[in-house]
Amino acid sequence: MGKIQKLDWGVIEWIYEPEQGSSDHLKVGISVMHPKAFQPRHIHYGDEQFMYIISGHGWQKIGEEKCSIEPGKYFHISAGMDHETFNTGTEPIVKLLISLPAVFMPPKVAPDTREKTRKMESIDKKEFLKETVKELLRHNLKPLRVPLSIFDENHNPVYTNQKFPQYCKKCCQIEEKLENCEVYRHLPTFMPPYWEGASAYVCRHGLSLYVLPIVYEQELLGFIKTGHIRTSLGRGEEDRLLFNVPESTANGMVNMIHNIAESICSHYQYCRMQVKLSENARVLSDKTREEYRLQGRLKTTCDKILNLQINQHFLFNTLNTIAGMAVKENALNTYQAVGDLAQLFRYTLRENSPFVALADEISYVRNYTNLQKLRFKDQLEVVYEIPQELMESQEVLFNFLQPIVENCFKHGFLDRTRKMKIEIRAYSEAGQCLIQVKDNGCGIPKETMKLLRDKIERGNEPHGTSMVVRKLQSVYGNSFWYDVKSKAGEGTEVSIRIIASGGESR
């Protein structure tokens, strides 16, 4: 069992956390939100998250976009994004949670600053910090919604973004004066050799603040402070304005200030090099070579941070990590589910021809229905009747079949009083390929069927069936046939005829 974190609205079991000292910052957890619980609007300060809904129903808002929570859905929340969740059901919302600290991009040194540092005979560290913060503000520091303050080596504030929680503004009036915060009044003492990690302080209200010294080669430049968050359960009605956050948020904030400190040190290193070159005219001939070397090091640092950003590789590597864990724990069902999910993403992220082999499209549908079997277990039966020769020879439009199968679950199986069955068949006749998807669901009433046919004919509405038809029409023109047959209480059958591969030209 992983580490359990109790929150106001539920619990998170962190089933995978990086070892101490590891360069891997990825965390994986299972989040359980209590029935009828509400996670108030909060900001993902220092981490971005990927969530896959395993069970439960509700709604959430990511930024200003409100969306429903249903099994099988997945979401990505970027750092700095507002988020709130409400469990509207009578069962917990269970989701797979993957967290990665947000990436802070180090800025390039502006040309006017280079000219200025070229003429410097020494570096005033307080003025240097002010100039560097200006550079950070022009780039990635300003959009950050994390409570953040930067101090010089004598603990004088150089920058604060005033993004403090409402709780701190109301309780301690920190917005009026930083010294009103008891943790800000505390002056950390770091004696050489300076400790490279961040220190955590907790105020009397139970809020955590993280302090990191900015150190270049054992020379103290200043401090970065961030936090004002709570990672444990609330203690009473007096702190209703402050909500606890997952530990991944705290880890993301600490990782962020490390990246900012690294950016400041890289800039400081660059300025020192310029001072050294201007002090010694005899090495001017080496200036270009040293500058290129230093810029190369800065670019390498930038590239390393860029490689931490969430992308396709992050997603697949994450899923491979979870699959490996499942194998070690002999959780074969989990291993199969993660494999199916990885194949789903890999298929949808392809950037090749709009056509694929029928075998690939069927394989994609199998991955999807395998995940649905996790929900419904033996209650769901899926039958495939497709000749192997047709699987290999027939080309079809990429990702046209899965939305049709998905409709079986979204509409056909609303009434789950009997065993669910889906039959997927394909065969060729008279130069055409016929593909059928049939379910034994609740069927479509006559009135709804008429509305559905109207949507298909208009073809301009954001309806799953309409989009599939438009997709087929854009490729095959009038050389395809799409039909839906259904009767209330007896299921639905969708039939598609397209040109057989090797037949009439597209």
Q: Give the model confidence (pLDDT) of 343-356 as tens digits.
A: 777 776 665 678 88
* CB burial readout 135-168, b (16+ within 10 A) else e: bbeeebbeebebbbbbbbbeeeebbbbeebbebb
pLDDT one-digit tens code per residue, 64-95:
889 999 998 999 888 777 788 999 999 999 99
Q: Is residue 334 exposed (0-12), middle (13-18) or buried (19+ Cβ within 10 Å)? A: middle
**pLDDT, position 115:** 45
Nearest CA among 196, 203, 199, 190 for reference residue 225:
199
pLDDT at residue 41 is higher than 80: no
pLDDT at residue 158 is higher than 80: yes
Distance CA 225, CA 295 (A): 28
For the chain, give the mean pLDDT: 77
Top-confidence residue, 110 or 240: 240
Looking from the CA of 414 toward its CB, the CA atoms found within 13 Å total: 10
Partnered with residue 177 across adjacent β-strands are none
CB of 101 closer than 8 Å to CB of 27: no
pLDDT one-digit tens code per residue, 412-462:
888 777 899 999 999 998 889 999 999 999 998 888 888 888 777 765 555
Name the percent of the chain lying above pLDDT 70. 73
Distance CA 303, CA 173 (A): 41
DSSP string, 96-161: EEEEEEPPPPPPPPPHHHHHHHHT-SS--HHHHHHHHHHHHHHTTSTT--S-EEEEETTS-EEEE-
Is the four-CA dihedral 269, 274, 275, 281 of positive or negative sign? positive
Predicted TM-score (pTM) of this structure: 0.43
State the DSSP code for 408: I
Q: Which helix (H) or strand (E) holds 348?
A: helix 332-348
